[in-house]
A and B are shown apart, each in its own frame.
Chain A
Amino acid sequence: MNPLIFTTILMTVLLGTMIVMMSSHWLMIWIGFEMNLLAIIPILMKKYNPRTMEASTKYFLTQATASMLLMMAIIINLMHSGQWTITKVFNPTASIIMTSALAMKLGLTPFHFWVPEVTQGISLTSGLILLTWQKLAPMSILYQISPSINLNILLTMAVLSILVGGWGGLNQTQLRKIMAYSSIAHMGWMTAVLVYNPTLTMLNMLIYIMMTLTMFMLFIHSSSTTTLSLSHTWNKTPLITTLILITLLSMGGLPPLSGFMPKWMIIQELTKNSSIILPTLMAIMALLNLYFYMRLTYSTSLTMFPSTNNMKMKWQFETKRITLLPPLIVMSSLLLPLTPMLSILD
């Protein structure tokens, strides 16, 4: 793509999310979502094969439907409160429709079906933008309307997302689909605590984005999109293999690593609000996620995965230069001792 056009379109994606996060008028928020959607379509279609076109079409259709539902909720809110500012949504119907629209944008169950298919059809860098940056705008709106969200609907969607994210990723060998199901599960964790303590949602979002960025950068560095291809990194850069191990275990939420921090805080906040069964269920279902992360680490770093001898040398064009990989790896694995600093968020 022409570099000038590519820069313009990428900046428009950023501008769209910024408009969503900074506006106080519902119409401007909707405009921001549409600008974001419009500008990310050519980024998803960077390579012109039928698979990327199908993936961007699926993304466009689901997100446009979600924008239509969002507009309907905005208009119902306008009818019942007479004003356009975002404070809280005054009508329960509008609140339910808006929650469903934002869940469609995030990829929560039962609207999760587009996430694995779209992530699989696009290149690794586009998948990175899709799974990290595109989650910021809907989450910021959910944060802002969190006092008026129907608790039953949101918690149902969150728990089902954790379930689907765990079970759906079990049978996958394609790395992009694994990351997509991991995204669904993490979105479930984030929205589960939204009504109780929205700050923890933002914390979880921050740490999730760091870990997903790290994982995608490591995949891009070793140019691997399947488990088999990833299992050959021991031959090329053994250091990357170790870092894949650490980052994957951090994504699974294991204690000495920073991925444990949001899960710990969320479970603590939920139990403080006297719901015991829910965090128990969520923690148990996170084990499903941990299982397929561990299967990836087992095949990549802990064993020499079986393959024919001539495949053991990895072939790629030239070594890709990945920006910010060491700081990202450090941040996605070593942040747990900084947990007491969360008290400054009050």
Chain B
Amino acid sequence: MMTYIVFILSVIFVVSFVGFSSKPSPIYGGLVLIVSGGVGCGIIMNFGGSFLGLMVFLIYLGGMLVVFGYTTAMATEQYPEVWVSNTTVMGVFLLGLLMEVMLVLYVLKGEEVGVVFKFSGVGDWAIYDTGDSGVFSEEIMGVAALYSYGAWVVIVTGWSLLVGVLVILEVTRGD
């Protein structure tokens, strides 16, 4: 089972995404987001990214989802929708599950569960090396490279987040 652990985790990931895309009440959406966050953290850690998995738990689940849960709890209704309460929600959920099952069977029949990146040379990538030899984790080096070579990406994503907040405030302000 351990050889297929990433595959199993990614199937659970997709199923929980189907679970909140079929639009039950946001409280239940937050519940499956917790599950999907934990499972996503497991997928990242299986590729050696322990730092990023920790980031997912701390910042995403422990920060953003907690605030989301509090605001949703303040705005919830008396009888929130579950997956089995509404025919439409259950129908969409079952449809998503069906498509996921068909995809899993298709992948398993081809007997290749791992998706391999065909890496064709380095090209014009910048090689980011700390200079000292020894054991280091490549995903922490990636995060460090983001803040040095990838400064433009940080600027753009930071600006997008700021403008996202401005847009949301503007849209919900009304007249």
Contact surface of A with B, Cβ cutoff 8 Å: 1, 5, 8-9, 12, 15, 19, 28, 31-32, 34-35, 38-39, 41-42, 45, 48, 78-83, 85
B66 at the interface (CB under 8 A from A): no
Answer whether A12 and B123 are a contact pair too, CB < 8 Å, given A28-B153, A31-B156, A35-B156.
Answer: no
CB under 8 Å from chain A, chain B span 121-175: 123-124, 152-153, 156-157, 159-160, 163-164, 166-167, 170-171, 174-175
Q: Which of B118, B157, B167, B174 contacts A9 (CB under 8 A)?
A: B167
A8, A12, A31, A39: the one contacting B157 at CB < 8 Å is A31
**Which residue of A41, A48, A78, A80 is within 8 Å of B174 (Cβ)?**
A48
- A28-B153, A45-B171, A82-B120 known; A38 vs B115 contact (CB < 8 Å): no
Complex formed: what's the CA distance from A168 to B163 in Å? Answer: 36
A34 x B160 contact (CB < 8 A): yes
User: Is B79 engaged at the interface, CB distance under 8 Å to the other chain?
Assistant: no
- Residue numbers of B with Cβ under 8 A of A are 115, 117-120, 123-124, 152-153, 156-157, 159-160, 163-164, 166-167, 170-171, 174-175
CB pair A39–B153 under 8 Å, yes or no, is no
A19 in contact with B166 given A80-B118, A81-B118, A81-B120 (CB within 8 Å)? no
Check B160–A79 contact: CB distance below 8 A.
no
> How far is B88's CA from A269's CA once the two chains are assembled, in angstroms?
51
Rounded to whole angstroms, the CA-CA distance of A8 and B160 in the bound complex is: 12
- 17 A-B pairs whose Cβ atoms sit less than 8 Å apart in the complex: A5-B166, A8-B163, A9-B167, A12-B159, A12-B163, A28-B153, A28-B156, A31-B153, A31-B157, A34-B160, A39-B163, A41-B171, A42-B171, A48-B175, A79-B115, A82-B118, A82-B119
- Chain A residues contacting B171 (CB-CB under 8 Å) are 41-42, 45
* Contact partners of A19 in chain B: CB under 8 A: 156
Closest A residue, CB atoms, query B124: A85
Output the nearest chain A residue to B170 by Cβ-Cβ distance. Answer: A42
Beta-carbon nearest neighbor of A1 in chain B: B170
In the bound complex, CA of A48 to CA of B171 (Å): 9
Q: Which residue of B is nearest A34, CB measured?
A: B160
Cβ of B62 to closest chain A Cβ, rounded Å = 25
Q: In the complex, A34→B117 CA distance in Å? A: 26
Query: By the criterion CB–CB under 8 Å, are A35 and B167 in contact?
Result: no
Residues B156 and A38 in contact, CB atoms below 8 Å apart: no
Q: Which chain B residues lie closer than 8 Å to A1 at the CB level?
A: 170
Give Cα A48 to B170, complex, Å.
11
- Which residue from chain B places its CB closest to the CB of A15 in the assembled complex? B159
Q: Which A-chain residue is minimally distant from B120 (CB atoms)?
A: A82
| Residues in chain B near residue A79, CB distance under 8 A | 115, 117-118
Least CB distance, A159 to chain B, in whole angstroms: 33
B174 and A31 contact, CB distance less than 8 A:
no
A-side contacts of B152, CB under 8 Å? 28
Which residue of the partner chain A has the closest CB to B171? A42
Asked whether, in the complex, the Cβ of B123 is within 8 Å of the Cβ of A83, the reply is yes
Give chain B nearest CB distance to A176 CB in angstroms. Answer: 22
Q: Are A83 and B115 in contact (CB under 8 A)?
A: no
CB distance from A308 to the nearest CB of B (A): 34
Beta-carbon nearest neighbor of B156 in chain A: A31
User: Of all chain A residues, which has the CB nearest B125?
Assistant: A83
The residue of chain B having its C-beta at the shortest distance from the C-beta of A32 within the complex is B156
Bound-state Cα–Cα, A39 to B160, Å: 9
Q: A9 near B163 (CB under 8 angstroms)? A: yes
In the complex, are the beta carbons of B170 and A38 less than 8 A apart?
no
Contact call A35/B163, Cβ cutoff below 8 A:
yes
For the A-B complex with A34-B160, A82-B117 known, give 4 more contacts whose Cβ atoms are closer than 8 Å.
A8-B163, A35-B160, A39-B163, A39-B167
**Complex: A212 Cα to B164 Cα, angstroms:** 30
- Bound form: Cα–Cα A8–B170 in Å: 12
Complex CA distance for A79 and B112, rounded to whole angstroms = 15
Shortest CB distance B23–A (Å): 14
Contact B160 A31 (CB under 8 A): yes
Which residues of chain A come closer than 8 Å to B115, judged between CB atoms? 79
Nearest residue in B to A8 (C-beta to C-beta)? B166
